[in-house]
Structure 1
Amino acid sequence: MTLDLLLKDGEIVFPGRGLRKGSIGVSKGKIVGIYSQSAEPAAREVVDCRDKWVLPGLIDPHTHIGFGSNETDFQTESRSAALGGVTGMMTFHRSDDLTKSTGPWKERGQAQSLIDFGFHFGITSHQQLQSLAVCAQTHGVTSVKVYLMYKGKAGQAKGFTEVDDGLLYAAMETTAKIRGGVVGVHCENVEVIPHFRTRLKEAGRDDLAVWDEQSPGFLEAENVFRVMYFGEKTGCPVNIVHMSSAESLEIVRRMRKRGGPAVHIETCSHYLSLTRDAGCGILGKVNPPLRQQADVEALWEGVAEGLITTIGSDHVPRKVATKGDSIWTATAGFPGIGTLLPVLLHEGVHKRSLPIELIAAATSANVARLYSIPNKGDIAVGMDADLVVVDPDRQITIDHETQLSHSDYTPYQGLTMQSAPCRTILRGRTIAVDGQLLDDAYTSPSGQYLHRS
C-alpha cells in the first residue's frame, strides 16, 4: 500500500501514555499505521519529523465564535486556530430558540471554518430546556452551559431574567437524561460582587488587580460547591468551566470524597500563565478574573495530579477598542485559541517540567472523551489524522498581527514562548506550515461539524 502521507521518525506523543519514536502513516484522512523505521511503507508525501514532537491536533473545548464578527468569525478564528495547532473547537451557541438558530449557525461554520467545530448550548431560560432533548438529538449536542454570573441584576442588564438556582437544577435534571450529557457552569457569585465593587470604585481604583478584588476567588469556590452538590442530587455529570482559583480546586478535592456523578474541571491557558499584575493591563479583563501567582501554581498542581482534565482558551475575538479606557466599562475576555499550545508548552513543559503527554491529554483525548467526539483526540489506527508537529527548540515571540484573528490584540503581546507548532494537519490534509496557512486552506476550507451522540 502506498500511503498518502508519512510523518517520519518523530517523537509520537500518546496522550496520557508517553512518547515513542516512530512514523505515522495516513491514508484517506485516517491514521492507518504507526511504524518503526524498518517497517515504513512508501508514501506520496513524506515529512521529516526528526527531533520533533507529533501530537494529536488540539480540540479547544471553550471558544466564543460570533463575539467578534458574527458574519466572519468562523473563518478568521479557525485560521488563527490552525496556525496554533488546533484542529477542532467547541463553541457556545446561545439563542432564544435553539430549534431555529442551530441549523443556520452550523451551516455558516461548514462554509467558513478551516477546522472541525462543535457546539455547546448556552442555557438562559426554561423554554430552551423544553427543546433540549430534541435539539440534542437533531444536532448532536450533548453539552450545555449555565451562566451563574447572569443571576439577578447582572442578568437583567443582559436581558436574561430566568437565570437562578432553579434553572441550574432544572438544566441538570434535563441533561442527566441525555446520553453523554454534561452541564458546564460558569461559577461566580454575582450577588456578593457589588458588596466589594462599590467601595473599590469609591476608592478610585481602576487597575486590572481590582477586577480580582471585586470578585475574589472564594466567590467562585462557593458556586463550585453548589454546582457539585446539585450534580450529586440530580445524578448529572458537571463540568466546572474556566476554573481560576486555588480555593475552587480545594472545594473539588473535598467534595469528590463524597462520591457521586462525574465532576470534570476545565481551566484556561491564561489562568495558567497570567496574573492580575500582568503587563497587559486592562486588556487582561476577563471573567472570572486573572488572579495571583499562588492561584496559577495551584492550578498547575491540579493539572499535574489529573484533577484538572481539560484546558481551553475561552477565546473571545473582540477588537481592542471594546476595552475602552476603564476596567469598569471594558468588555471581558480576549483572544487565545492561536496561542493555546505555545503557552501551555512554555509554561507547563519547559518551566514546570510536566510531561508533554499530560498537556496532550488535557487538550485532545480528554476533551474528546468528555464531549463524546468520535475518532478524535488520539494517535491510533482508525482515528482521524488530526495532527500537529511541534518543534521543541523553536522560539516564537507572540504578535497579534501574525494571529490572523478578527481581534487586533493579544494579552501575550511581545512575550517569547519556547516550542511552537510547525505543521498542522486536519484529516490528513496539511493546512499550516511554519506559521503560515497554505493557500488552498484559505480558498478551500474543509472544517466539518462535530455531530455527537
Structure 2
Amino acid sequence: MTLDLLITNARIMLPGKGLTEATLGVRDGRIAVIADRGADLAARETLDCEGLWLLPGVIDPHVHFGFGSPETDFETESRTAAIGGTTTVLSFHRSKDIRESCDAARTLGETQSCIDFGFHFGITSHLHVQTLEEISARFGVSSYKLYMMYKGAAGLAQGFTDIDDGLLYAALRQAARIPGAIMGVHCENVEVIPLLRDELRAAGRDDLKAWNQQSPDFLEAENVHRVCYFASKTGAAVNIVHLSSREALDEVRRHRLRRNGPPIYVESCPHYLFLNDESPAGTYAKVNPPVRSQDDVEAMWEGVLDGSITTIGSDHVPRKRATKDKTIWAASNGFPGTGMILPLMLHEGYHRRQVPLARIVELCAANSARIYNLPSKGGIEVGKDADLLVVDPDLEKVVDPATLESHADYSPYEGMKIKGWPVRTLVRGRCVMQDGRITDEARTYPGGRYLRRAQSDAAS
C-alpha cells in the first residue's frame, strides 16, 4: 500500500497512551496506519515533525458563522479556525422556517469553508418544535439550542414571540423522541436582568464588572435548575452551553446526583477560563453570560479537572471593532475566538496549571465527537479522518488580530503572549495552514465538507 502522506518523527497523542513516538500514514483522507517510529512505509509525501506533537484537530461545538458578514463568514472564519487548530465547527443556524433556509446555508459553507462543519438548529418557535423530527432527518442535525435569554421583551426585540417555559418544555419533550438528540440551552433569567441593569446604569456604571453584576451568577444558576428539572421530566439529554459560574456548575452537579436518565452535558468557553470581570479588554470582552469573578474562573478549572465540564466551545462571533468601541451597555455582545481554543488551553491549562494534555484533548476534541455523533472525528485512530495538528508546545506568539484572518478586526486577547500553537493544520490529510498562514491551495479550493450527524444517517 502506497500512502498519500507519511508523518514521521512525531510525538503522537494516542487514546489511552498519551504522547507516543510513532509514525502515521494517511490515505484517502483517513488515518490508514499507525506504526512504530522508523517504520519503512512508502508514501507520495513525507512530513517530518522534528519531534513536535501531533494532536487531533479541535472540534469547536459552538460558533456563530454568519453573524459578522453573512456572505463571507464561512470563508474568513474557517480560516481563523484553522490558524489556531480548529478543524471542525458546529455553527448555529436559525431562521423563521429552517426547512426553507438550511440548504442555502449548507451550500454557502461547502463553497467557502476550508474546514469541515455541521449545524445546530436554533429553536425559537413552536413551528421549530413541530418540524423538529423532519428537519433533523432531512438535514442530518441532532443538536439544537433554545435561548432562555430571549423571553418576553428581550425576545420581542429580536423578533421572537414564542420563547417561554412552555416552549422549553415542548422542545425538550420533542427532542427526547429523537434518537441521539441533545438540546442545548442558553441559561440566563432575563426577567430579572433589567431590574439590576437599570439600577447600575442609573448609578453611572460603565465597566465590564457592571455587565457581570447586571446578570449575576444566581440568574444563570436559576435557569440551569429549570432546564435540568424540565429535562428530568421529559427524558431529554441537555447541554448547558457556555456555562460561566461556580453556582451554575454546582447546580448541574446537584442535578446529576439525582438523575438516572439521559445525561446533562456542560460546555464552557476559553474566556471563562482565562478572563475575569476586571480584564483590561473592557467592552471587547462583553459577552452573554458575562465573564465573571476570578473565583468563577477557578471554578471552571475545577470543572475541567474533575470532569464536570464536558466540552469547550468558543461562542465565536466575528463582528467588527467598531461595534465594541461604545459604552458597556451599547457595545455588541460576543467576540471571535474559535482559533484561540487550543492555544489558550495549552497556555493556561497545560503550561500554567499542569492540566494533563489528555484531558485537554478530551475537552477540545474527543468529547464533542462522541456527544455530537461525529464518529470519524476527535482522535488519532486508524480509520478516522486525518484531522491533525502539528503543535509546538513551546512556541510563543503575541495575539495579533491582523494575522488571524477573521472578519473581526480585534480580539479580547490581543497583545497577550500565548505559549503553545499549531504550526500545521491538516483537514482529512490536506494541509490548510502552515506556519500561521492559510495555504494557497486552501484559499483556491477550500474543500470543507458538511457533516450529517443524525443518528440514522451519520456519514461524517
TM range (shorter): over 0.9
Alignment of 1:238-249 (within 5 A): 238-249=238-249
Q: What is the CA–CA distance in structure 1 between the aligned matches of 2:148 and 2:127, rounded to whole Å?
A: 17
Aligned to 2:193: 193
Q: What is the CA–CA distance in structure 2 between the aligned matches of 1:63 and 1:253, rounded to whole Å?
A: 26
* Aligned partners of 1:115 and 1:446 also within 8 Å: yes
Name the amino acid aligned to 1:289. Answer: P
Query: Deviation per CA, 1:68-126, whole angstroms, max 9, x where unpaired?
Result: 00000000000111111111100000000000100111011001100000000000100
3-state SS, counterpart of residue 338 of structure 1: helix
Q: What is the CA–CA distance in structure 1 between the aligned matches of 2:59 and 2:430, rounded to whole Å?
A: 17
* Aligned partners of 2:148 and 2:188 also within 8 Å: yes
3-state SS, counterpart of residue 359 of structure 2: helix
Q: What is the CA–CA distance in structure 1 between the aligned matches of 2:51 and 2:228, rounded to whole Å?
A: 44
TM-score of the superposition, structure 2-length normalised? 0.97
Aligned to 2:101: 101
Question: What is the CA-CA distance between 1:19 and the residue it aligns to?
Answer: 2.3
Q: What is the CA–CA distance in structure 1 between the aligned matches of 2:305 and 2:16, rounded to whole Å?
A: 11
Aligned to 2:19: 19
Q: What is the CA–CA distance in structure 2 between the aligned matches of 1:14 and 1:61, rounded to whole Å?
A: 22
Alignment of 1:395-414 (within 5 A): 395-414=396-415
Query: Deviation per CA, 1:321-374, whole angstroms, max 9, x where unpaired?
Result: 112421111110000012111111101100100111111111111101111113
Name the amino acid aligned to 1:61. Answer: P
Q: What is the CA–CA distance in structure 2 between the aligned matches of 1:21 and 1:235, rounded to whole Å?
A: 44
Name the amino acid aligned to 1:317. Answer: P
Q: What is the CA–CA distance in structure 2 between the aligned matches of 1:33 and 1:292, rounded to whole Å?
A: 47
* Aligned partners of 1:11 and 1:50 also within 8 Å: no
Aligned to 1:266: 267
Name the amino acid aligned to 1:12. Answer: I
Question: What is the CA-CA distance between 1:399 and the residue it aligns to?
Answer: 0.4
Alignment of 1:412-423 (within 5 A): 412-423=413-424
Question: What is the CA-CA distance between 1:51 and the residue it aligns to?
Answer: 2.7
Q: What is the CA–CA distance in structure 1 between the aligned matches of 2:427 and 2:119, rounded to whole Å?
A: 19
Aligned to 1:334: 335
Structure 1 outlier segments of 4+, above 6 Å: none
Q: Provide closer, same or farther for how the CA distance between residues 16 and 249 of structure 1 changes in structure 2, counting only shifts above 3 A.
A: farther
Name the amino acid aligned to 1:203. Answer: A
Aligned to 1:237: 237
Question: What is the CA-CA distance between 1:39 and the residue it aligns to?
Answer: 2.6
Q: What is the CA–CA distance in structure 2 between the aligned matches of 1:15 and 1:73, rounded to whole Å?
A: 33
Name the amino acid aligned to 1:379. Answer: I
Structure 1 segments unaligned to the other structure (5+ residues): none
* Aligned partners of 1:83 and 1:435 also within 8 Å: yes
Q: What is the CA–CA distance in structure 1 between the aligned matches of 2:109 and 2:15, rounded to whole Å?
A: 28
TM-score of the superposition, structure 1-length normalised? 0.98
1:344 and 2:362 correspond: no
Aligned to 1:254: 254
3-state SS, counterpart of residue 280 of structure 2: coil
Q: What is the CA–CA distance in structure 1 between the aligned matches of 2:10 and 2:304, rounded to whole Å?
A: 26
Q: Provide closer, same or farther for how the CA distance between residues 14 and 224 of structure 1 changes in structure 2, counting only shifts above 3 A.
A: farther
Work out the percentage of aligned pairs sharing the same amino acid: 56
Name the amino acid aligned to 2:384. Answer: M
Question: What is the CA-CA distance between 1:16 and the residue it aligns to?
Answer: 6.4
Name the amino acid aligned to 2:364. Answer: T
Q: Provide closer, same or farther for how the CA distance between residues 133 and 339 of structure 1 changes in structure 2, counting only shifts above 3 A.
A: same
Aligned to 2:457: none
Q: What is the CA–CA distance in structure 2 between the aligned matches of 1:22 and 1:302, rounded to whole Å?
A: 32
Name the amino acid aligned to 2:4. Answer: D
Aligned to 2:138: 138
Alignment of 1:36-51 (within 5 A): 36-51=36-51
Q: What is the CA–CA distance in structure 2 between the aligned matches of 1:148 and 1:170, rounded to whole Å?
A: 13
Structure 2 segments unaligned to the other structure (5+ residues): 455-460
Aligned to 2:434: 433
Aligned to 2:226: 226
Name the amino acid aligned to 2:361. Answer: A
Question: Which of 133-142 and 34-43 deviates more?
Answer: 34-43
Aligned to 1:5: 5
Aligned to 2:278: 277
3-state SS, counterpart of residue 99 of structure 1: helix
Q: What is the CA–CA distance in structure 2 between the aligned matches of 1:262 and 1:143, rounded to whole Å?
A: 14
Alignment of 1:9-408 (within 5 A): 9-14=9-14, 18-259=18-259, 260-408=261-409
* Aligned partners of 2:115 and 2:448 also within 8 Å: yes
Q: What is the CA–CA distance in structure 2 between the aligned matches of 1:334 and 1:67, rounded to whole Å?
A: 10
Q: What is the CA–CA distance in structure 1 between the aligned matches of 2:301 and 2:18, rounded to whole Å?
A: 19
Name the amino acid aligned to 2:308. Answer: L
3-state SS, counterpart of residue 339 of structure 2: coil
Name the amino acid aligned to 2:21. Answer: K
Question: What is the CA-CA distance between 1:38 and the residue it aligns to?
Answer: 4.0
